[in-house]
Structures are given as C-alpha cells and as structure tokens.
Structure 1
Amino acid sequence: MSTCKALIIPADTSQPARVDSITADLETLQHLVRGNIEAVSGDNWHFYLNEEGKILGLEPNTRAGAMVLQLTGDLQDVYCGDVVFLGETPDGDEADVPAKLWGLLALMEGSQPPAH
C-alpha cells in the first residue's frame, strides 16, 4: 500500500479543502467519498468520487468542477460529492497530488494553499 498526499475537496463549500496523507487503497478511497469510487483522469493527476453521487443526490462539487475546467479547458460532467485528488507516477501508480493542483485551488479561492 502506498501512502500519498491527497487533496480532499468536500462538496460542501463551508468545509475547507485539505491536503492529508492517506493510504491510497480501495477501502480508504471508498470511505473518503462515502461509496464506490469512480476515477476522472488528467495528465499527471486524477481524482476519485462517489460513482453514484448524482443518483444519490449528493451535492455538486463546484470547486472540483472549476479545477477540472482550469486544468483541462473542458468540463464534461457535474461531479457530485466529496473528491480526492491524487497524482500518478509514469507507471500509473498512485502518487502525491501535484503541488500545482492545491496551489490552483488556493488561487481560485483567493486563499492560502490548504494545510498539509
């Protein structure tokens, strides 16, 4: 099991985003998103969310959507529920979230990067 620094962004905007060290295994990821996971991938990053978030009526995660739009220039979906951003190695293994992601979130929110 790998331990990674993850950027965790709650859907509830009154809760702060944070960078936490997590064990990047299925059980931990399912616990953080409160259900089965679905992955959304970028260049050297990806995030996990609850695969049934829309069906369950979870709150849209506007911060995650705004980050995907900033990072890719394209937004194909509405992401619902809490999300867990991680980085990835060239081999596709889990890695620490790239600093540019939590820096981007801080910039978008006009605040300091989340505590880690």
Structure 2
Amino acid sequence: MDTRTYTALVVPAGNSEPMRLEQVGPDLRALESLVGGPLESVIRGDWHVYLNAESGTMVLPVNFRAGQLMHECGLDLDGIRGTAVFLGRGEHASEADIPDHLARLAEELFGAPLAA
C-alpha cells in the first residue's frame, strides 16, 4: 500500500476561501472528499487536476480561480465547478508534488501567498 503523501494545491470555488497547499495521499476516497464527490482528472504536461465529475449535475459553484489558472497554462475548459485539487505527475503517471512553477503562478495570479 502506498503511504506517501504529496503536496497538492487545493483551490476552493468560493473566492473568499483561501487557496492552500495540503498534504494528500494517493487514496481516492481522500481526494473524493476534497472535491465533494466522484473524481475526474484533467492532465496537462507535468501536472493534473482533480475535479468533481458530477459538478454540473450537482450545480456546484463555478471555480473562477481554477479556471483562470488552467487558462494561463494553456488549457481552456468552460465551467470548472467546485473545488479543484492540483497535483504533479510523476513517473508512469503516478502522483507527485505540485510543480513549483504552478504554485508560483497561482500566487502571482491571485496576489496572495498560499496558506499551508
């Protein structure tokens, strides 16, 4: 059983909630708990983001920050909803810590240091 943890960037949909760096394991249930339901993943280069697969039918709030962060990285998806959890991609598509460049970009875009 994989007991490692990885540093993830958690971006809540509510703009009043701080984005934060959080240690997460590769446990699907823990990730589902963070996004509030079943997972879907979007992969881009050296990172990927977990989203709630039922966000549209659950009518979760739009996550403007996650959408803008993804847009700045060259990925345009409409209607990103709910909490987004960004992680890095390791060898053989395994989990890894969020890449430093992505965490720095989030801080620059939203003008605040990430809460730990």
TM-score, scaled to structure 2: 0.93
Partner of 1:64: 66
Are positions 1:41 and 2:48 aligned together? Answer: no
How far off is 1:109 after superposition? 1.0
How far off is 1:36 after superposition? 0.2
How far off is 1:111 after superposition? 2.1
Alignment partners' CA distance in 2, 1:44 and 1:102: 13
Number of aligned positions between the proteins: 114
2:73 is paired with a residue whose SS is: helix
Question: Residue type of the partner of 1:77?
Answer: D
- CA RMSD, aligned part only? 1.1
Partner of 1:75: 76
1:12 is paired with a residue whose SS is: coil
Correspondent of 2:27 among 17, 25, 28 = 25
Long gaps (5+) in structure 1: none
Alignment partners' CA distance in 2, 1:99 and 1:42: 15
Alignment partners' CA distance in 2, 1:21 and 1:77: 28
The percent of aligned pairs where both chains have the same amino acid is 36
Partner of 1:115: 115
Long gaps (5+) in structure 2: none
